[in-house]
Amino acid sequence: MAVTDEKADVVRLEGKYSAMIVCWLLGNGCLFSWNSMLTIQDYYGYLFPNYHSSRVLTLVYQPFALGTLCILASWEANINTRKRNLFGYVLFFISSLSVLVLDLATSGKGGLGSFIGICAISGAFGIADAHVQGGMVGDLSFMQPELLQSFLAGLAASGALTSGLRLITKGAFENSKGGLRKGALLFFAISTFFELLCVILYAFTFPKLPIVKHFRAKAALEGSKTVSADLAAAGIHGVADEAMGKATEVERLSNKELLSQNIDYVVDIFLIYALTLSIFPGFLSEDTGSHSLGTWYALVLIASYNVCDLIGRYIPLIECIRLESRKWLMVSIVARILLLPAFYFTAKYGDEGWMILLTSFLGLTNGYLTVCVLTSAPKGYKGPEQNALGNLLVLFLLGGIFAGVTLGWLWLIGKGW
């Protein structure tokens, strides 16, 4: 018996590190295009100086993401995960290409028409995000926590990479004629190529990894219908057919029951992102005043947030400092509300160094607490329930983002708009 269990463990762990790398890249691709649009706010601020682009684009993005995910989370148990995720990555690719085409077609001119076009693309990014982020988190919730952690780290890495690329392209083209636009075009060309890479990785590489096949087959035998197409793509037809036959026989908790049992986790994830997005990126882009760094200041702040968010998502890999207590998670997340007055008074009285330090802490806690919540919540459930809970958590994550973006407009009170 021990020999059999040992062989099963070997099969289960085979390809784990390859899967972690692929998950990291797929997580990166989930937000790479959107973070590109956020990070390029210096260009959009120049093109559309009167439209508060950093706030408006985020406000357009969120209803599409939240509305789409509400529908997908409700019908999650019967949705083909493979088609869902492929649709999302393909839409990311098409939307990224559309940003490039729109800028070339208008010769980099601003105006209301161009801004409406950018807003429409922002909405498409939201729809793609709802398909991919909810689908991938749900899928990875019934696999090893390290795979979900890698995907979440990839989400944060997209921000860090786009910030780094933006600083490089801005520096490279700053002194040339039309340098701001040239840097932006190169930026989105890279983004478009990367999204195409993610389409290929998800379609042909990810489903064939041994560890992924193992956990999907296990979930199928526990009654999951969402993985059948991925199993078929990996060449495992027998398990997929058996799962379709068993799915009606296996009982699972309803979404309402899962929500009731995990109400503290969904409130946690909502509060994390409501607080973060009430500050980032709108406040950091528009409300920190004029400083010696000039047009580089907002970029440096956004880069500081993104890099520390990425670091925060790796901290839970150190088991002794991973926070799993439901009580202390809630206490830590509620305590972050103190960051609001801290940012207000730092923007009013502090210098660049204090603001960069505070922004870094915002990113660090955002990444750390996100991974702690999303990897702790699915433990103890069957595969289909873990998938459903993953979708519900992402739904409340996006709800928190939407609430935060909306609350972010309160910083403008008394400033004339």
Per-residue pLDDT, 90: 97
Among the listed residues 160, 156, 157, the one whose alpha carbon sits nearest the alpha carbon of residue 39: 160
* Per-residue confidence in pLDDT tens, the chain, 417 aa: 444 444 445 555 678 999 999 999 999 999 888 888 877 777 787 788 777 777 788 788 888 999 999 999 988 888 889 999 999 999 999 999 999 899 888 887 877 888 899 999 999 999 999 999 999 999 999 999 999 999 999 999 988 888 788 778 777 776 666 677 877 788 788 889 999 999 999 999 999 999 999 999 888 888 888 888 778 877 776 655 555 555 545 577 899 999 999 999 999 999 999 999 888 776 666 555 556 666 677 778 888 888 999 999 999 999 899 999 999 999 999 999 999 999 888 877 877 888 889 999 999 999 999 999 999 999 989 989 999 999 999 999 999 988 988 887 776 665 555
pLDDT at residue 124, rounded to an integer: 95
pLDDT for the residue numbered 164: 81
Task: Give residue 64's identity as a one-letter amino acid code.
Answer: F
- Spatial distance between the Cα atoms of 314 and 20, rounded to a whole number of angstroms: 13
Per-residue pLDDT at 147: 95
pLDDT, residue 269, reads 97
Whole-angstrom CA distances from 99 to 37, 143, 174, 272 are: 9, 35, 21, 30
Q: What is the DSSP string of 115-164?
A: HHHHHHHHHHHHHHHHHHHHHHHHHHTTS-HHHHHHHHHHHHHHHHHHHH
DSSP three-state, residue 215: helix
d(CA 147, CA 29): 15
Amino acid sitting at position 102: L
Structure tokens at 241: 């057919």
> Residue 2 has what pLDDT?
44
Burial environment of residue 101 by CB neighbours within 10 A (0 to 12, 13 to 18, 19 or more): middle
- The pLDDT value given to residue 322: 92
DSSP H or E stretch at residue 302 = helix 296-314
**In angstroms, rounded to a whole number, what is the distance separating the alpha carbons of residues 394 and 85?**
14
State residue 287's pLDDT score.
53
- Can you tell me the distance from the alpha carbon of 400 to that of 362, in angstroms, rounded to the nearest whole number? 15
- Return phi, psi of residue 56, to 5°: -65, -45
The token duo for 140 is: 């990875």
Instruction: Measure the CA–CA gap between 264 and 93, rounded to whole angstroms.
Output: 36
Residue 269 Cα distances to 23, 84, 336, 338, angstroms: 21, 23, 12, 17
Q: Round to whole Å and give the CA distance between 363 and 357.
A: 10
Exposure string for 180-192, b = 16+ CB within 10 A, e = fewer: bbbbbbbbbebbb
> What is the pTM (predicted TM-score) of this model?
0.86
For residues 57, 58, 64 and 70, what is the CA-based torsion angle, rounded to 10 degrees? Answer: 180
Inter-residue contact 238 to 362 (CB < 8 Å): no
Distance CA 220, CA 215 (A): 8
Closest CA to 310 of 100, 149, 138, 109: 149
Vertex 88 angle, CA 147 and 97, to 5°: 115
Query: Is the backbone peptide bond immediately before 63 cis, with ω within 30 degrees of 0?
Result: no
Task: Give the H or E element holding residue 203.
Answer: none
Amino acid at residue number 366: N
